[in-house]
Amino acid sequence: MNRLQNKIAVVTGSATGIGKATVELFSKEGATVLCADVNTEELDKTVEELNKDGGNVKPFQLDVSNEDSVTRFANQVKEEYGTIDVLFNNAGVDQEGGKVHEYPVELFDRIISVDLRGTFLTSKYLIPLMLDHGGSIINTSSMSGRAADLDRSGYNAAKGGITNFTKAMAIDYARQGIRVNSISPGTIETPLIDKLAGSKDEEMGQKFRDANKWVTPMGRLGRPDEMAKVALFLASDDSSYVTGEDITADGGIMAYTWPGKMLIDKEWKEETE
């Protein structure tokens, strides 16, 4: 406990899912958490809920893809707090778009703008608040940044960019005491998954989850709180000699080359039911 005592942490995309779970955990560990999201309705619900439980969470509306929005946010943080210790660039979007020759340009631009450009903008304008004393930056990448998915080339490009952008920042700021790492989640039970694949209560959503159960060696989807714990490790002094790394937390999916025997082994599939 208290691994982030007296720290100021910024978490983007914090209204739901991994972001919300991370805000909750960071707050329990003693941080003042600046909770930033474009969805103000969900953001206000999250902040009210966590503060009722004794958290120290402050809401900020932020569109990470918009430079003016990011600079206003950075100026407000500087004016009110003067500094930050942790930046968790978690905001992101995802959507299938078809094969590359069919892929809508506007969808590709949107995903790159929010996921990759948003990570760049928030880092660019908030890093100056860390330069005097160091800190930790965590970027949400994805296992989809390490390998590819059918019909999701825009997301693959954005997340692959984040993984390498993380390494570039780690080199840039190591001598200033700023550590930069990324997390590559697998398939996590979040509202985004409900939107992309259907909820647990929908037939397509259940089929999606069943398929992920057998293709994932651990036999289940991940939970937001499990990703939050990885973020806490990277935010805290427990990872004081870790920078430029990407931690994959996917239940073992990236550990194998292709499903192979898993496709025909009835026992393997039944073990996940």
The residues annotated as belonging to the active site are 155
Q: Which residues make Cβ contacts (< 8 Å) with residue 258, sequence separation at least 6?
A: none
**Under 8 Å between Cβ of 249 and 227:** yes
Exposed e or buried b for every residue in 93-112, given b needs 16+ CB within 10 A?
A: bbeebeeeeebeeebbebbb
**Under 8 Å between Cβ of 35 and 47:** yes
CA-based nearest residue to 92, from 145, 55, 169, 31? 145
The vertex-85 CA angle with 80 and 88, nearest 5°, equals 100
**Cα–Cα distance between 20 and 50 in angstroms, integer?**
9
**Cα–Cα distance between 83 and 101 in angstroms, integer?**
45
**Cα–Cα distance between 123 and 108 in angstroms, integer?**
22
Q: Is 189 left (phi over 0), alpha (psi -120 to 50) or beta?
A: beta
What residues pair up with 180 in beta bridges, in sequence order? 137
Residue 191 neighbours by CB distance under 10 Å: 14
Q: Which residues make Cβ contacts (< 8 Å) with residue 145, sequence separation at least 6?
A: 156, 158, 159, 160, 161, 162, 163, 184, 246
